[in-house]
Amino acid sequence: MPRLSPTEPVLHPDCSISNSTFGAYVEVGRGSRVAQCMFGDYSYCDRYCDLANAEIGKFSNIASYVRIGATDHPMERASLHHFLYRSASYWDDAEDDADWFLRRRARRARIGHDTWIGHNAQIKPEVTIGHGAIVAAGAIVTKDVDPYMIVAGCPATPLRPRFDPEIRQRLLDLAWWDWSHDKLRATLLDFRSMSIEAFLDHHE
């Protein structure tokens, strides 16, 4: 694993990146496509992800082959085919449909802080994944997910919450994801070793 940087994302080979911004200590796995995304500090995706039109919070853990923001085709028109909007690829005198692309880009998915998106999961456009939530491997998420909920399946449904409501609220209030890099280093051993209750008692 490479040493990560506070100023530049580590982009592994064969990535395609467009119109995207990256916070500190970000890593993008080999062969990933990232378009119109905002990666918060410390977030990463593993190999061959396809991420579009997404606001990704801090400390998000995105496993390989995840797709976020898969776009739709024009289901109400006479044809579904992309010649309707990628028209310049087919005719010299036709322009691409700029409005179509703008509408698609406006449908943003939101991935909270400290989330874990499992291998090969998909998250639809405009869906919000709450802070601390887990999306199981292979899930297809079509609706918003509450903070600290684990969802699984196709379509994804709640499996169980990670913590009881009191602990969940205390974690949301603590918002440790806003701590400085130095404070994270100073509390690293507490993160590693303390129970969730002891950690909250100690750091609130």
Ligand X SMILES: CC(C)(COP(=O)(O)OP(=O)(O)OC[C@H]1O[C@@H](n2cnc3c(N)ncnc32)[C@H](O)[C@@H]1OP(=O)(O)O)[C@@H](O)C(=O)NCCC(=O)NCCS
23 lines the binding site for ligand X (CB under 6 A): no
Residue 110 bridge partners (DSSP)? 55, 128
Q: How far is the CB of 149 from ligand X (least distance, A)?
A: 11
- Binder among 26, 45, 111, 134 for ligand X (CB under 6 A): 134
- How far, in Å, are 3, 115, 168, 170, 183 from residue 190 at the CA level? 22, 20, 18, 16, 11
Residues 48/29, Cβ–Cβ less than 8 Å? yes
Q: How far is the CB of 66 from ligand X (least distance, A)?
A: 9
Tokens 């919000």 belong to: 128
Copy the structure tokens of residue 147.
């903070």
Copy the structure tokens of residue 10.
């580590």
Considering only residues 139-158, where is the footprint of ligand X by CB under 6 A?
150, 152-153
Q: Which is nearer to ligand X, 28 or 63 (CB)?
A: 63
**Residue 145 DSSP code:** B
| Contacts with 190 (C-beta within 8 Å, 6 or more apart), sequence order | 199, 202, 203
113 assigned to active site: no
- How far, in Å, are 54, 81, 124, 151 from residue 127 at the CA level? 9, 25, 6, 13
Q: Which stretch binds ligand X (CB under 6 A): 68-76, 96-104, 136-144, 188-196?
A: 136-144
Which position among 73, 81, 181, 202 bears the catalytic label?
A: 73
- Binder among 40, 57, 112, 118 for ligand X (CB under 6 A): 118
137 lines the binding site for ligand X (CB under 6 A): yes
Residue 91 bridge partners (DSSP)? none
Q: Which is nearer to ligand X, 33 or 119 (CB)?
A: 119
Q: Which is nearer to ligand X, 21 or 142 (CB)?
A: 142
Q: Which is nearer to ligand X, 106 or 137 (CB)?
A: 137
* Residues tagged active-site: 73
Binding positions for ligand X, rule: CB under 6 A: 61, 63, 118-119, 134, 136-138, 150, 152-153, 159
